[in-house]
């Protein structure tokens, strides 16, 4: 069995605890190897190594840093198939989606490498003569990067590519469900020429590695993606760091009475059951106009019945396993709650052998029901019927989260009103709730985060500070706001 190491200051080393944990293939329960259980002392070493590397990396011209990011892109491309297989084996989603995960990492490295020749600040006139004003982007320092398991290549890339192009150094903790992917990702960065200490990797649990990172007094920025509860804990414990939080969702698709129903069904099936419903942008609610509810449900269930479950490595499979035992228990718990609260079970509802769960649909749910409010993160879709557009907006906005949203309609009025009225960071028109492109900002409102955005130009903001510069070439001590002082 492969015993892996952590990566600190350019060297693969054992963790100081000497303890290990295993990662398993969720499709068949086979072990993928032993991984070091890091702890606070490993985090301390990683932070020291990151600061040691910081002066050299932050002073390297950004276009030169970009060359390394372009090489990462190329290596990801060359190894796409094999890396996708690693993702599927470690967290279960089907190969086509795992290839999409690697492709997203390729795209984001390419985009952020391009930022090496932009990293724009701006200039603006001064209120005083012979004075020049501008802003510059400067790095933050050492970043703690903590990621979940559902996009084990794309999400580290969304954070580490902009962190590096801005000149930061990084301590990276991948999810303890996907340590192997985390190691493969870092191996690739090293091969591309990322200098020693610029990216350090500590594997292990949230408690033993994540918490020391977020509380560390010498870490200046935290970039976290994961659940709302962990996000809240970070907000309360990170102190005065620059913190980016990308949290959960309870995303809704609105299907109006004038929608192309077949298209809406396509969107709901993909949004609800892609990645076995384990996406932050999963369409876990369908808010359907009563006039088309029955037609929609008939077509929706017919499509779901055709979905094939199994190992994501099998190209005929559509839906893989859940990631681990506790995910299965969570889905089971919510299915029980849905039944108890009186939502109608249209299909599914049962745990199958291993970590597989039947694609499940509740119908005739009310907006306040638990299955219509809480993130289940599994193959469960709740249908909520509504009588008009106004009620649809009221229902879609009735949750604490605000990540993604969608409306299927042929009415341009409904489409634009939805864009205006839905409280979410992302709104799709006539498409599903998932499908982010890396040159646009990604993130949510309300309890989905703390207002930061990843990817796109906005993705640079999280990983840089803005420095304001005034250059006075008047030869006098000019004072802003017309202040006259000490001149009488």
> Would you count residue 248 as binding ligand NAD (CB under 6 A)?
yes
CA distances 165 to 63, 197, 269, 302, Å, are 8, 15, 37, 48
Which of 210, 349 has the CB closer to ligand NAD? 210
Tokens for 26, please give them: 């969720």
Which of 97, 246 has the CB closer to ligand NAD? 246
In the list 43, 68, 84, 280, the residue contacting ligand NAD (rule: CB under 6 A) is: 280
> Would you count residue 243 as binding ligand NAD (CB under 6 A)?
no
Which of 15, 147 has the CB closer to ligand NAD? 147
- Say which residues have a Cβ less than 8 Å from residue 356's Cβ, sequence separation at least 6: 309, 310, 321, 322
Q: Which position among 280, 297, 375, 462 bears the catalytic label?
A: 280
Which of 68, 280 has the CB closer to ligand NAD? 280
Tell me whether residue 246 is one of the annotated catalytic residues. yes
> Would you count residue 246 as binding ligand NAD (CB under 6 A)?
yes
Q: In the window 88-147, what residues touch ligand NAD (CB under 6 A)?
A: 146-147
Q: In the window 53-72, what residues touch ligand NAD (CB under 6 A)?
A: none
Q: Which one of 11-19, 70-78, 102-110, 243-251 is the stretch in contact with ligand NAD (CB under 6 A)?
A: 243-251
> Would you count residue 153 as binding ligand NAD (CB under 6 A)?
no
- Residue 163 CB, nearest approach to ligand NAD (Å): 16
Which of 87, 265 has the CB closer to ligand NAD? 87
Q: Return the closest-CA partner of residue 42 out of 15, 23, 63, 66.
A: 15
Q: In the window 171-190, what residues touch ligand NAD (CB under 6 A)?
A: 173, 175-176
Which of 167, 425 has the CB closer to ligand NAD? 425
Angle, CA of 120, 122 and 125, to the nearest 5°: 165
> Would you count residue 274 as binding ligand NAD (CB under 6 A)?
no
> Would you count residue 267 as binding ligand NAD (CB under 6 A)?
no
> Would you count residue 148 as binding ligand NAD (CB under 6 A)?
yes
Which of 12, 21 has the CB closer to ligand NAD? 21
> Would you count residue 377 as binding ligand NAD (CB under 6 A)?
yes
In the list 179, 210, 267, 348, the residue contacting ligand NAD (rule: CB under 6 A) is: 210
In the list 182, 206, 272, 378, the residue contacting ligand NAD (rule: CB under 6 A) is: 206
Which of 88, 178 has the CB closer to ligand NAD? 178
> Would you count residue 37 as binding ligand NAD (CB under 6 A)?
no
- Distance, CA of 23 to CA of 92 (rounded, Å): 12
Tell me whether residue 133 is one of the annotated catalytic residues. no
Q: By CB neighbour count within 10 A (0-12 exposed, 13-18 middle, 19+ buried), where does 435 fall?
A: middle
> Would you count residue 42 as binding ligand NAD (CB under 6 A)?
no
- Residue 20 CB, nearest approach to ligand NAD (Å): 16
> Would you count residue 249 as binding ligand NAD (CB under 6 A)?
yes
Q: Which position among 90, 110, 115, 246 bears the catalytic label?
A: 246
User: Under rule CB under 6 A, how many of the chain's residues touch ligand NAD?
Assistant: 29
Instruction: Supply the residues annotated as catalytic.
Output: 246, 280
Q: Would you tell me which residues interact with ligand NAD (CB under 6 A)?
A: 146-151, 173, 175-176, 205-207, 210-211, 214, 225-227, 230, 233, 246-249, 280, 375, 377, 403, 448
């Amino acid at each position: 069995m492969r015993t892996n190491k952590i990566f600190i200051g350019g060297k693969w080393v054992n963790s100081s605890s000497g303890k290990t944990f295993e990662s398993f293939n969720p499709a068949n329960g086979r072990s993928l190897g032993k991984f070091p259980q890091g702890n606070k002392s490993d985090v301390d070493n990683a932070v020291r190594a990151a600061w040691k590397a910081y002066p050299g990396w932050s002073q390297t011209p950004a276009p030169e840093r970009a060359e390394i990011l372009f090489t990462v892109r190329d290596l990801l491309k060359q190894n796409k198939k094999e890396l996708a297989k690693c993702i599927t084996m470690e967290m279960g989603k089907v190969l086509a989606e795992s290839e999409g995960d690697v492709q997203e990492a390729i795209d984001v490295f390419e985009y952020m490498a391009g930022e090496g020749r932009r990293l724009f600040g701006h200039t603006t006139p001064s209120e005083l003569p012979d004075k020049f004003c501008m802003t510059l982007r400067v790095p933050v320092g050492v970043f703690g990067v903590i990621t979940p398991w559902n996009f084990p290549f794309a999400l580290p890339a969304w954070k580490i590519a902009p962190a590096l192009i801005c000149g930061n150094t990084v301590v990276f903790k991948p999810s303890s469900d996907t340590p192997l992917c985390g190691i493969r990702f870092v191996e690739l960065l090293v091969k591309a020429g990322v200098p020693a200490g610029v990216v350090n990797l500590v594997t292990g649990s949230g408690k033993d590695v994540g918490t020391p990172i977020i509380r560390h007094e010498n870490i200046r920025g935290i970039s976290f993606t994961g659940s709302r509860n962990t996000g809240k804990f970070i907000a309360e414990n990170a102190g005065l760091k620059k913190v980016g939080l990308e949290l959960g969702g309870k995303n809704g698709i609105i299907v109006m009475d004038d929608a192309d129903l077949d298209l809406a069904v396509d969107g709901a099936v993909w949004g609800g059951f892609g990645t076995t419903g384990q996406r932050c942008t999963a369409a876990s609610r369908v808010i359907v106009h009563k006039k088309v509810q029955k037609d929609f449900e008939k077509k929706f269930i017919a499509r779901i019945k055709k979905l094939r479950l199994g190992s994501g490595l099998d190209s005929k499979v559509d839906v893989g396993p859940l990631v681990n035992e506790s995910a299965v228990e969570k889905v089971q718990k919510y299915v029980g709650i849905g039944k108890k609260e009186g939502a109608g079970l249209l299909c599914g509802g049962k745990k199958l052998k291993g970590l597989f769960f039947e694609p499940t649909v509740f119908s005739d749910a009310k907006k306040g029901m638990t299955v219509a409010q809480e993130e289940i993160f599994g193959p469960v879709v709740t249908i909520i019927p509504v009588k008009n557009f106004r009620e649809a907006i009221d229902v879609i906005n009735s949750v604490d989260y605000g990540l993604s949203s969608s409306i299927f309609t042929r009415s341009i009025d409904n489409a634009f009103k939805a864009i205006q009225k839905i409280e979410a960071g992302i709104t799709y028109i006539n498409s599903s709730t998932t499908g982010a492109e890396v040159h646009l900002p990604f993130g949510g409102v309300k309890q989905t985060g703390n207002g930061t955005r990843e990817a796109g130009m906005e993705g640079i903001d999280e990983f840089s500070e803005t420095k304001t510069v005034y250059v006075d070439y008047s030869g006098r001590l000019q004072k802003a706001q017309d202040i006259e002082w000490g001149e009488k």
